[in-house]
Chain A
Amino acid sequence: MATLREIKRRISSVKSTMQITKAMKMVAAAKLQKSQMKLMSTRPYSQKLSGVLENVVKKSKRHKHPLMKERKVKKVCYVLLTADKGLCGSFNANLIRRAHSELNQSEAQKNHLITIGRKGYEHFRHISYPVTAHYIDIFNNLEFSQARVIAGELMKSYLNGKFDRVYIIYNQFKNAVQQDMIVEQFLPIVPEPTEEKIHPAGYVYEPKPEAILKVLVPMSLNFKMWKILLESATSEFGSRMTAMETATDNAQEMIKELTLFYNKARQAAITKELNEIVSGAEALKG
């Protein structure tokens, strides 16, 4: 009989786990939607900014902004974006694995690693890999000012020669079930072609395009970092939602099996009892 009670206990334990995963899925879905909205609302700024940037860069051809100049690559910095929390499928594990392979393959003399998100930091601290800088607990309440701080630090390190190139490893959000992991060059800037028309002659730049570029370039990098943070956060929610959905499905499957098992065991017990009664009665007759 002990097994019967045990099975019952397991069923109820799986049930409560399922309730948790179900709730987490719902929370992730709600957050995903919010995050997606945020991502969408960066679009007007993004279009305008890249259009203006391209025009100004073209106008100031002779002068190159220091953040756009290619240098000989000796010191590379990888920025790894993971989540702050777990329970989101293979999201963090894949990112960390990719970071390892990038660091191993790197041909630079010195590699730096910066982590954004708690999970990546914990992993590299655990294996005692030197982490140049880390940012944790920023995804809980994501604000533009945080992107500005991170981008500012990267620019400073690039300008004073600490890094010659900066790559960012993160997940780009495609849709709720698909996230693409990419390694993107952050510094020096790779100009992107845009659709915005070049300004007609007679367009007044005040001050000169070169001076405008000085303000524009950091602005565009701040924004790029903001977008990357949002992409990563949105991907995390998508990944968590999928993971929790799978977990809920698995729990349901398990409950089904356990219930079947429980009924079988109950049936067996009843049969056994009946058998005993009948055979007892038979024995008395004899």
Chain B
Amino acid sequence: MADKSFKFEIITPEKVVYSADVEHVKAPGKNGYFGVKVNHIPFLTILKTGKITIEIGKEKIFFATSGGFAQVTENKMTILAETAEEATRIDVERAKQARDRALKRLKEKSVDINIPRAEAALLRALNRMEIAAIK
């Protein structure tokens, strides 16, 4: 088993959210989801809002992220994200509030709102709710 796994970390500005040896990671790349297994070539890419799936043996762990980037070096993968929460720890109430707030802002269409920002907020909220619902 040991030769199939590699070191994987998710780091946010607030703390190291996750750190373990894993076998497979699926992450939301800018141009679509991609998977990383052991001995992947070194690379760097941008992540968008979406779901990170970690596999260790038969176990699967899900994280919601609002984007950042992923770096793969010799058998080590690091995700730097501004936010990342494990599916079981997502605050669904808060996500719902954020969704409603964003929807309201988009509906009002007042001049002083930032539409891309409201859309991004909506996307983040929906993403959190979707991932929280997996478990």
Interface residues of A (CB under 8 A from B): 38, 41-42, 44-45, 48-49, 52, 56, 144, 147-148, 152, 199-200, 202-207, 211-212, 215-216, 219, 222-223, 226-227
Contact A52 B16, beta carbon cutoff 8 Å: no
Contact B69 A200, beta carbon cutoff 8 Å: no
Q: Which secondary structure dominates chain A's binding surface?
A: helix
Using a Cβ–Cβ cut-off of 8 Å, how many residues does chain B contribute to the interface with A? 25
Interface string of B82-111 (1 = CB under 8 A from A): 110000000000000000000000000000
Q: Which secondary structure dominates chain B's binding surface?
A: strand
Contact with A204, one of B30, B44, B46 (Cβ below 8 angstroms): B44
Contact A52 B12, beta carbon cutoff 8 Å: no
Q: In the complex, which residues of chain B have a beta carbon less than 8 angstroms from the beta carbon of A202? A: 41-42
From A218, which residue of chain B is reached at the shortest CB distance? B82
- 30 sampled A-B residue pairs with Cβ under 8 A: A41-B14, A41-B15, A41-B16, A44-B11, A45-B11, A45-B12, A48-B11, A48-B78, A56-B44, A144-B14, A144-B82, A152-B117, A202-B42, A203-B44, A204-B41, A204-B42, A205-B44, A205-B45, A206-B44, A212-B44, A212-B46, A212-B69, A215-B46, A215-B69, A219-B69, A219-B80, A219-B82, A223-B13, A226-B13, A227-B13
Extra contacts besides A147-B13, A206-B44 (9): CB < 8 Å: A41-B15, A45-B11, A45-B13, A48-B11, A52-B69, A52-B80, A144-B14, A207-B45, A212-B69
